[in-house]
Amino acid sequence: MAAAPHDHAVCIDDALTRADRLCEERGARLTPVRRRVLELVWRGHRPRGAYDILEDLAAEGRRAAPLTVYRALDFLVEQGLVHRLESMNAFIGCIDPGARHATQFLVCRRCGTATEISDPEVSRAIESAAARTGFAVERPMVEVQGTCPLCRNENQQ
């Protein structure tokens, strides 16, 4: 899971580099505010709410209205740079923003860490089950609640 020790600065740098490139290719404008919001979403592997981001901006001495942050988040979702986790009303960076893909999230109910996976078998099962009922899938996203390996190991020690 993403919570394993690693150089998180690399995650953030990669996400920002990909975002710059994708927005340039698409003719979309990644403004400084949008870029900073993206960076704050990527701050950890935990979903972040709009008000968490507002608090971060305020701590930096930046005044931002909630509408500004929500518009930035809407743009980032529209561009596929972040995902909105419905169950938490929070946002998390997309690990593959260049491609449209079905996503599944493993969300630790203890530490709040969320890991994006994209299992084609799960996606096919959802599409197949939906097709049998005549349902048209528009945004195939699954959120699975559970306990991450780090939290499970802490519990066992």
pLDDT at 157 over 70: no
Lookup result for tokens 């340039």: 24
Average pLDDT over residues 3-31: 87
Q: Is 78 a domain residue?
A: yes
Burial profile 2-21: b = 16 or more Cβ within 10 angstroms, e = fewer? bbeeeeeeebbeebbebbee
pLDDT band at 3, cuts 50/70/90?
A: very low
Phi and psi torsions of 48, nearest 5°: -120, 135
Q: Is 74 a domain residue?
A: yes
pLDDT at 44 over 80: no
Q: Is 2 a domain residue?
A: no
Q: Is 3 a domain residue?
A: no
Q: Is 75 a domain residue?
A: yes
Q: Is 23 a domain residue?
A: yes
Full residue range of the structural domain in which residue 152 is found:
8-156
Residues comprising the chain, all counted: 157
Average pLDDT over residues 52-80: 94
pLDDT band at 2, cuts 50/70/90?
A: very low
Q: Is 1 a domain residue?
A: no
Average pLDDT over residues 131-136: 96
pLDDT band at 154, cuts 50/70/90?
A: confident
What pTM did the predictor assign?
A: 0.85
Average pLDDT over residues 131-138: 94
Please give the tally of structural domains in the chain. Answer: 1
We report the CATH number of the domain holding residue 122 as: 1.10.10.10
Question: pLDDT digits over 68-118, tens only?
Answer: 999 999 999 999 999 999 889 999 999 888 877 888 999 999 998 899 998
* Among 41-45, 66-70, 119-123, the least confident range: 41-45
